[in-house]
A = this chain, B = another copy of it.
Amino acid sequence: MTENPLDELRSNSLGRLTTRVVAAIERELATRQVVAVDISPAQKAVLIQLETTGNRITTLAARLGISKQATSKLVQELETKGLVARTPDPADGRASQIIFTASGLELVEGTVGYFRELEARLADEIGPEDLALVKSKLKAIARILDPEGF
């Protein structure tokens, strides 16, 4: 396919390899359609950052690196789709906690189910030890490059 030495370097870089894996996983996940609603990339990013214990808009906005207004809008859209809900924050009358609804949780569980299945498949192909090793080293790398990440 590629013979050029520069292309060789490019295509074997950690950056490119991880990007390809991420893209492939997203592609597969898109076909699974765990829940019968479609979700924009930006909405998905919110769902990824949202912990099952709930978060505030401000926290989500900081994690997403976008404005609170944009976050608020995305949350509103997800609320319309029935995936998340707002509840008043008991600790702060001005704030609200964003939490998953039952169907939102179902979506998360479906995604986790897919991840489990995917990893079982990969374990079959490259061996469970190697997969475990890759994951543990990737976690170390993620901690180094993205210490704030969840």
Contact = CB atoms under 8 A, between A and B. Distances in A.
B150 A2 contact: yes
Nearest to A17: B138
Interface in A101-135: 105, 108-109, 111-112, 115-116, 118-119, 122, 125-126, 130-131, 133-135
B10 A108 contact: yes
B12 A139 contact: yes
Q: How many copies make up the complex?
A: 2
Given A2-B51, A10-B108, A22-B22, A15 B142 contact: no
A21 B112 CA distance: 19
A18 B25 CA distance: 10
Contact of A21 (B20, B115, B141): B141
A90 interface: no
